[in-house]
Structure 1
């Protein structure tokens, strides 16, 4: 049939495009190109008798084939790569049956599977309504891509093969390019959901960093490790999700909170520290998003953990001036904090409260940090930290009223600060009792 054997074909690469004079070779390449694009399997079989299946074909500018693809440059491509790139399922199957090697790589080190993922079709647009002609066309295109992927997997494509230049597995590529339908197919065919790329990130790290909940759910369902840490930073998927979500607002913030909750409910360690000693609550406090901070507190985040530089979550919160203005959230953090540390290991105060407008608040907090709690006050705070807001009402049913009140009804932060703050800063202070000390 003229095909080269599959053995050793994985070392083949596409040579740089060379000029082909008009003649039998140019005509053969052009016809094979067109047959693959038309999915004319009968013609493909005939042409493969005179062209090795794993050798590239070269298409000249201004040829019939180049006009078909709107290309004005010489293009050299391996037949199976052409079929994969344009999602020609029948051509792909025909080539594989005639000895095409799915693992043959192009000049950039990409396999046939890599090319399918890199050219995965976008099927949803803001202007295509379900059921209209454009929607049906896009759906057909994606279905063709899915068919090609299944054909490749059935014919031995390596679902864990990494790129030569970046160590990205097919799953990493699928996450990067938003190929959601790909995940289950790859996982069902043995893809390692905990594989790492050149940055030591797993697919779940990438999906969490992108706040892609659908992909996160799929990866977790197939056994992704929710507590895997990036080797260079110590970041977990939870910390990455918190970092990204903390920069969002409105509807996007809600989506981020949903991703964070997903990780927590599937066993993510809320107090895991990275190599700097930071936890998710440190990142959330720096971002200042109340919804994220409250969610982490509900899952028993420890607001007293210090980084290697001696920074507490409340220190991170006070780093940014717009956080300081939200005194209601500041009160809740103080409610869980003991001891209150206002400086890091170098004795530096948080930057956010160094503005002149926060002088009285800064002085008040410094005084409180220098005023130790009584042993009774420390015990009360420990009870609040251990049981959290989640079990507050449950404890109310179990404990005598006087004891419960002594634990949860403490000094009012608003009253405490109002003694020192000007009227312009008293607005927004919590009206309800919020424990600051005692």
Structure 2
């Protein structure tokens, strides 16, 4: 029911535990003591997880924690749920944001002291042999996974410095970086990458990478949250994330981004040479994913850019099914135009021009202008190919009143 101290130190350990400063811990011990004296087995069973060192860690009592450890308390003793002292400390890490408190005022100092006390306790535990890679018996989450889940940012670097495995996996086969990317927590991602996290590690059950998880989450955001997501995606790409890595369904980050329809994410992936012609196992291209949602179809400027990178244009999946978003009556002309173009192969010259644009992208467009003769550059970047023809058809549909919504095909 408690830690077994070294011989001769029992009294000191008990006294240290009983002298914890706050009320809750003292009340818990009092309740247990009374239950033992009354032989109240029900209460004793309910409080069997009360372990002195756990109380010290939970309430961040640094002096009591140090005293217990110096006199033989075992930092690896587990409670009835299989959690160690370190696990419990992270589960009860103080949520103390100081960003809203004016620096230097009383509230800011209180919040800072609370955070510093927790950090001190963590350092004490690590210095006395706490296993920084010990997983919970029920969920297989390492301390790093717990730190991510409970937003304990200051913990990451301390655990890593003390030997925590930054590429450990939890019960869902996710590393800490997978979790941080899925949460779009850039600070944690930066720390993990700096500590050696593998940006291309895959989730064994799905094949997802941190990049694909970040794109998936960011694609559902807007405004500042979308901006934060784009920043996380850029961080992964600049640190070597493979932009065209496929999961077990054959999907890549650009598939996910196209389905989400966020221009900022799609443009960023294209800038890092995302391949818009990769097919999933079911034969779905990124443009197919984009056309799945009617909201996306109405953004003809982004649709045109994707089409400008797509060849051959594949409008159906392996079952011959067209994307759901383009099946609405208001998109009849667009559907017919795209279907027609998908059956019409480009000329060899057109394919070469498109490949040049795909390889060099917008990033090196002006650089190529300085190297290539004007006539060749104009031929590559100023030609009227599929995207331009599509926009002309869309404008024509507006003029003819074929669109159900006046703004449906605005370019």
**Normalising by the residue count of structure 1, what TM-score does the alignment of the two structures yield?**
0.81
Moved segments of 4+, more than 4 Å: 5-29, 31-45, 73-76, 412-415, 422-438
- Higher mean C-alpha displacement, 416-425 vs 100-109: 416-425
Q: 1:354 to 1:184 in 2, by over 3 A?
A: same
Q: 1:432 to 1:77 in 2, by over 3 A?
A: closer
Q: CA deviation at 1:406?
A: 1.1
- Higher mean C-alpha displacement, 3-12 vs 261-270: 3-12
Q: Deviations over 1:355-409 (max 9, x none)?
A: 0000001100001101001111111111111112111111111111111111111
Q: 1:199 to 1:44 in 2, by over 3 A?
A: closer
Q: Deviations over 1:78-121 (max 9, x none)?
A: 00000000000000000001100000000011100001100001
Q: Deviations over 1:273-305 (max 9, x none)?
A: 000000000000000000000000000000000
The unaligned stretches of length 5 or more in structure 2 are none
Instruction: Tell me, yes or no, if the aligned pair for 2:341 and 2:386 is still in contact at 8 Å.
Output: no
Instruction: Tell me, yes or no, if the aligned pair for 1:413 and 1:430 is still in contact at 8 Å.
Output: no
Q: Does 1:297 align with 2:270?
A: yes
Q: 1:267 to 1:38 in 2, by over 3 A?
A: farther
Give the aligned CA root-mean-square deviation in angstroms. 7.2
Instruction: Tell me, yes or no, if the aligned pair for 2:244 and 2:274 is still in contact at 8 Å.
Output: yes
Q: Quick one: distance in 2 between partners of 1:22 and 1:253?
A: 43
Q: Quick one: distance in 2 between partners of 1:430 and 1:102?
A: 70
Q: 1:343 to 1:166 in 2, by over 3 A?
A: same
Q: CA deviation at 1:428?
A: 15
Q: 1:276 to 1:437 in 2, by over 3 A?
A: farther
Match of 2:20 in 1: 20
Instruction: Tell me, yes or no, if the aligned pair for 1:242 and 1:284 is still in contact at 8 Å.
Output: yes
Q: Quick one: distance in 2 between partners of 1:184 and 1:428?
A: 61
- Higher mean C-alpha displacement, 343-352 vs 131-140: 131-140
Q: CA deviation at 1:122?
A: 1.2
Q: 1:124 to 1:267 in 2, by over 3 A?
A: same
Q: 1:74 to 1:100 in 2, by over 3 A?
A: closer
Q: Does 1:84 align with 2:57?
A: yes
Q: Does 1:355 align with 2:328?
A: yes
Q: Deviations over 1:55-89 (max 9, x none)?
A: xxxxxxxxxxxxxxxxxx96851000000000000
Instruction: Tell me, yes or no, if the aligned pair for 1:12 and 1:104 is still in contact at 8 Å.
Output: no
Q: 1:437 to 1:141 in 2, by over 3 A?
A: closer
Q: 1:20 to 1:215 in 2, by over 3 A?
A: closer
Q: 1:6 to 1:323 in 2, by over 3 A?
A: farther
Instruction: Tell me, yes or no, if the aligned pair for 2:13 and 2:71 is still in contact at 8 Å.
Output: no
Q: CA deviation at 1:4?
A: 3.5
Q: 1:77 to 1:170 in 2, by over 3 A?
A: same
Q: Quick one: distance in 2 between partners of 1:25 and 1:354?
A: 64
Q: Quick one: distance in 1 between partners of 2:336 and 2:112?
A: 63
Q: Quick one: distance in 2 between partners of 1:112 and 1:156?
A: 11
Q: 1:389 to 1:324 in 2, by over 3 A?
A: same
Aligned residues: 411
Q: 1:16 to 1:276 in 2, by over 3 A?
A: farther
Q: 1:96 to 1:204 in 2, by over 3 A?
A: same
Q: Quick one: distance in 2 between partners of 1:42 and 1:156?
A: 34
Q: 1:20 to 1:355 in 2, by over 3 A?
A: closer
**Normalising by the residue count of structure 2, what TM-score does the alignment of the two structures yield?**
0.86
The unaligned stretches of length 5 or more in structure 1 are 46-72
Q: Quick one: distance in 2 between partners of 1:110 and 1:79?
A: 14
Pick the structure with more helix per residue.
Answer: 2
Q: Quick one: distance in 1 between partners of 2:371 and 2:403?
A: 28
Instruction: Tell me, yes or no, if the aligned pair for 1:303 and 1:337 is still in contact at 8 Å.
Output: yes
Instruction: Tell me, yes or no, if the aligned pair for 1:410 and 1:435 is still in contact at 8 Å.
Output: no
